[in-house]
């Protein structure tokens, strides 16, 4: 039951953070390209790399509770691959195939780079 509460509380925080970032980006970006979700996934992937790298290096004894709360809860609620999938399909249905492909490639590639950079940051440059 504790695990469910940790994930649920973290997920609520992550979802609120995602919404806040979306509102913030919306103040500066009004285009049809889903920039807020892209930025959320990039940031979330980077933070996941930092978290996992840090846990592996410094807190193995308590890492399960932290992993449940932060990785699965907060970052799971913050990153939005379900929204990413929906936005991709919407772009495709609007006939914006090039935008959809660009969105998919940027999301996947840059998020992988973000996670790698987060790991590099916590590993002192050796991945």
Distance of CA 118 to the CA centre of its chain: 12
Distance CA(96)–CA(66), nearest Å, equals: 41
* Cα–Cα distance, 98 to 104 (Å, whole number): 10
Question: Does 76 appear as a known binding residue?
Answer: yes
Distance CA 121, CA 11 (A): 25
Please check whether residue 71 is in contact with residue 5, taking contact to mean a CB–CB distance below 8 angstroms.
no
Q: How many CB atoms lie within 10 A of CB 5?
A: 12
Evaluate whether 87 touches 103 at the Cβ level (below 8 Å).
yes
User: Which residues does the annotation place in the binding site?
Assistant: 76, 79
User: Which residues does the annotation place in the binding site for Na(+)?
Assistant: 76, 79
């Amino acid at each position: 039951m504790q695990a469910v509460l940790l994930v649920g509380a973290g997920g609520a925080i992550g979802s609120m953070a995602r919404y806040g970032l979306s509102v913030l980006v919306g103040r500066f970006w009004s285009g049809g390209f889903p920039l807020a979700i892209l930025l959320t996934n990039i940031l979330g992937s980077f933070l996941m790399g930092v978290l996992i790298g840090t846990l592996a290096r410094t807190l193995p004894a308590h890492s399960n509770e932290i992993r449940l709360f932060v990785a699965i809860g907060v970052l799971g609620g913050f990153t939005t691959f379900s929204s990413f999938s929906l936005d991709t399909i919407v772009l495709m249905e609007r006939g914006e195939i090039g935008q959809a492909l660009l969105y998919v490639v940027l999301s996947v590639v840059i998020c992988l780079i973000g996670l790698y950079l987060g790991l590099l940051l916590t590993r002192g440059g050796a991945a």
